[in-house]
Amino acid sequence: MLKSKIILILIFLLPLFTFSQNEKWPAEKLKQDLTIFKQIREKANSGVYKYRTKKEIDSIYSWAFLEISKPRTLLDFYKIMLKITDFEGSLHNDTTLPDDFLNKYSSGNLFFPYPVKLVENKLIVNFQNSEIPLGSQIHSINKIKTNTLLGVFHKYYTTDGYNISGKSIGIGSSFAKYFEMEYGSQKAFVVEYSLPNQTEKITKTVAGISNDVRKGNFKNRHSLPIDSLQYGKIKTKYSFKVISSNTSLLTINTFAIGRNAKDKEHLIYKKYLDSCFQYLSNNSQIKNLIVDVRNNGGGTDPNDILTFSYLTQKPYRENSSAYVNFQQIPFPEYLVYEETEPQKQKEERKDFEDEVKEEFPTLMNQKYIQDQKFNLVLQPDKNSFKGQIYLLISPRIASAGSLFASLVAGNTNAIVIGEETMGGYFGHNGHTPIEYELPNTKIKTQFSIVNLEQDVPKKANQIFARGIIPDHEVKQTLEDFMQNKDTQFEYTLKLIEQE
- Residue 71 maps to a domain: yes
Give the three-state DSSP class for 477.
Answer: coil
Residues 133 and 95 in one domain: no
Residues 415 and 307 in one domain: yes
Q: Is 224 exposed, middle or buried (0-12, 13-18, 19+ CB in 10 A)?
A: middle
Residues 152 and 188 in one domain: yes
| Pairing status of strand 116-119 against strand 122-125 | antiparallel
Name the residue range of residue 190's domain.
116-223
- The model's pLDDT over 442-464, given as tens digits with 9 standing for 90+, comes to 999 999 999 999 999 999 999 99
CA distance 191 to 144: 9
- The model's pLDDT over 3-47, given as tens digits with 9 standing for 90+, comes to 333 333 333 333 334 455 679 999 999 999 999 999 999 999 999
> What whole-number percentage of the chain has pLDDT above 70?
96
Residues 465 and 336 in one domain: yes
pLDDT at residue 5, as a whole number:
35
Residue 472 clears pLDDT 90, i.e. is over it? yes
CATH number at residue 214: 2.30.42.10
- Residue 9 maps to a domain: no
Task: Tell me which of 165, 193, 223 is where a domain ends.
Answer: 223
pLDDT bucket at 102, cuts 50 / 70 / 90: confident
pTM: 0.94
- Residue 12 maps to a domain: no
Section 381-387 average pLDDT: 98
Confirm if 81 and 441 have CB atoms less than 8 A apart.
Answer: no
CA distance 402 to 422: 8
CATH number at residue 461: 3.90.226.10
- The model's pLDDT over 432-442, given as tens digits with 9 standing for 90+, comes to 999 999 999 99
Number of domains forming the structure of the chain? 3
pLDDT bucket at 407, cuts 50 / 70 / 90: very high
> Cα–Cα–Cα angle for 251, 239, 492, nearest 5°?
35
- The model's pLDDT over 363-383, given as tens digits with 9 standing for 90+, comes to 999 999 999 999 999 999 999
Transcribe 363-405 into DSSP letters: EETTEEEPPGGGS--B---TT---SEEEEEE-TT--THHHHHH
pLDDT at residue 20, as a whole number:
58
Residues 167 and 296 in one domain: no
Residues 127 and 52 in one domain: no
